[in-house]
Structure 1
Amino acid sequence: MTTALDHYHARMLRVLDHIDRHLDGDLDLETVSGVAAFSKFHFHRQFKATFGLSLHRYVQLARMRQASKRLADEQGASVTDIALDAGYETPDAFARAFRQRFRQSPSDFRKSPDWAPWLQAFGPLNSARSRLMPTTFTPDQVTIRETPPIRAAIFEHRGDPATIDATVQRFIAWRKAAGLSPQTHPTFNIWHSERRPADPADYRMDLCVGLNPGQRVEAEDPSVKAGEIPGGRCAVLRVTGDTHNLEPAALYLYREWLPASGEEMRDFPIYCQRLFVGEPEMGAAAELFLPLR
């Protein structure tokens, strides 16, 4: 049974590899199902059941990711050529889709990319790929670090985690208005509850922006308050690639690393720093901090 399942997954991974290498080619249902040697009459259901996205949606996101990477190269191809290579009939259609997904026009993105909505937009794509590419962690990936206290502007989310995306959008809009770019002011998440509490109303998470010494932030939004992430010893685990769901990394620290380490937790929740790298092909990254005594 395990061998058969592994063989099935290998065929599906072969499909993803083919899509990656032929984004500017023909990726219709008949072509892609043939790569996996599956019946085209069932393949679209198999693909969605495996990856959580339809084949069309997956290809659309993969092509848009490639297009945005090419746009980030100011000396690269023209916006028109990038739009046509991404499968759009006109540059206007590409611009509309790009703005809807990234809240920037292609030309604005080329001049000054905003990586926060870029990373969020490809969460579904990263999650799809991670279904057959589970991340495993080992003790040598965890380091113990002495961290300084961090003054922060804290944007609170309280209530059903299903509404977190709306809070993230408000957070992004607020930090833009306040001039707190991710490139100059670090981004943190603090989790005060488990990812899926029995009562969704009990879910609590803070989205935070690190502040410079002496910097103050005036905010009319009652969700924003001044605070501090306390310094001290922390176990740190770096995650790269798909950082949309950091629960597996957090569970590794709690369930495996901590009991084996002999360390004790400090009275502060686990938190992470989001790392918005300058080049998207390097992927997203995050560092999880488990406070220790």
Structure 2
Amino acid sequence: MTTATERYHERLRRVLEYIDQHADQALNLETLSRIAAFSKFHFHRQFTAVMGLSLHRYIQLVRMKRASWRLAFREGQTVIDIAMGAGYETPDAFTRAFRQQFGQTPTAFRKEPDWDSWLEAFTPYDHARAQLMKTSYTANDVTIVQVPTTPVAVMTHRGDPARLGHTIQRFIAWRKSVGLHPRASATFNVFHSDPRSTPPDEFRMDLCAATDQIVAPNDAGVEGGLIPGGRCARLRVIGSSDDLEAPALYLYRDWLPASGEETRDFPMYCERVRFFPDVPEHEAITDLFLPLR
């Protein structure tokens, strides 16, 4: 029974991956049901039963998530281009749909995103993907590596994790101003606290960009820092990096006690290897590092 259920869910996962890869194209019931190898007469009900969202609603949220990330974090892309990439024939149609979804126009969101409304809007989407896109980790997925000491530019986010998007926007703007493009400068996040066990006003996370340059005094609050070299357990996460709790929990709860290893005095951190929305969400790559003695 478990094997049959897993095969069933794998067929639906193929559909989710196809939607991720082709969100800027026309997506019809016949094509998607064929990918899942389900009858087109029943596929819509099957999808809704498993995902908790209709197929149409799910596709809309996939497109809106990518569009909202591009608006917030890719200022070089015009609203018109983003609208076309979200499958809307006109900017006006995109604006109406975006306002209905988030309570802001695309232009207003780009200028000052309401992240609380954004998070609320995507709760059903996150829940739906969690039904099928879960990853189970084993000890074979963890590699012990020797990492070099890495000089970085650091912008620290302090306070409510829901406001993290604003800090990311400021950090991207600063990186652009000094020419530290992610293609040439590795991107790291250092997790000083767990958002589930830390009061929101005490939450801290560092946004980092690798650089050999001296970080000059600046109004953005970016300072020079180091990610220390040494032994680390590395776990590669493929797919959404919105919530790294599951892989982090695996490292701490399952892998570490069984490994016989001891942690050293530096927080868990990650390197963002491939970014959404530059790649489809299921193709994003994040390497999670647990520093070891």
* Pairwise TM-score range, normalised by the shorter structure: 0.5 to 0.7
**Pairing partner for 2:241 from 243, 248, 272:** 243
- Structure 1 length normalisation: TM-score? 0.67
- How far is the alpha carbon of 1:10 from its aligned partner? 7.5
- Any gaps of 5 or more consecutive residues in structure 1? 68-78, 104-121
Does residue 36 (structure 1) correspond to residue 34 (structure 2)? The answer is no
3-state SS of paired residue (2:173): helix
Backbone CA RMSD of aligned residues: 4.4
Does residue 89 (structure 1) correspond to residue 82 (structure 2)? The answer is no
In structure 2, the CA distance between the partners of 1:160 and 1:87, relative to structure 1 (3 Å rule), is closer
Separation in 1, partners of 2:202, 2:273: 28
Give % identity. 50
In structure 2, the CA distance between the partners of 1:147 and 1:33, relative to structure 1 (3 Å rule), is same
Alignment of 1:150-161 (within 5 A): 150-161=150-161
In structure 2, the CA distance between the partners of 1:138 and 1:25, relative to structure 1 (3 Å rule), is closer
Runs of 4+ in 1 over 2 A off after TM superposition: 1-23, 25-28, 31-39, 53-58, 60-67, 85-103, 122-131, 214-218, 276-282
Contact 2:214–2:224, Cα closer than 8 Å, also in 1? no
The residue number in structure 1 matching 2:170 is 170
- How far is the alpha carbon of 1:177 from its aligned partner? 2.0
In structure 2, the CA distance between the partners of 1:178 and 1:33, relative to structure 1 (3 Å rule), is farther
Q: C-alpha offsets along residues 1-35 of structure 1, whole Å, 9 cap, x if unaligned?
A: 9899879967965874786789524459xx99953
Alignment of 1:138-149 (within 5 A): 138-149=138-149
Separation in 1, partners of 2:191, 2:166: 17
Does residue 252 (structure 1) correspond to residue 259 (structure 2)? The answer is no
- How far is the alpha carbon of 1:142 from its aligned partner? 1.0
Q: C-alpha offsets along residues 120-165 of structure 1, whole Å, 9 cap, x if unaligned?
A: xx99967743432211111111111111111111111111112112
Does residue 219 (structure 1) correspond to residue 226 (structure 2)? The answer is no
- Any gaps of 5 or more consecutive residues in structure 2? 34-38, 68-79, 99-104, 111-121
Alignment of 1:79-118 (within 5 A): 83=84, 87-90=87-90, 100=106
Separation in 2, partners of 1:26, 1:207: 40
Separation in 1, partners of 2:286, 2:18: 29
The residue number in structure 1 matching 2:230 is 232
Aligned length: 251
The residue number in structure 2 matching 1:74 is none
- How far is the alpha carbon of 1:88 from its aligned partner? 2.6
In structure 2, the CA distance between the partners of 1:254 and 1:17, relative to structure 1 (3 Å rule), is closer
Separation in 1, partners of 2:210, 2:228: 12
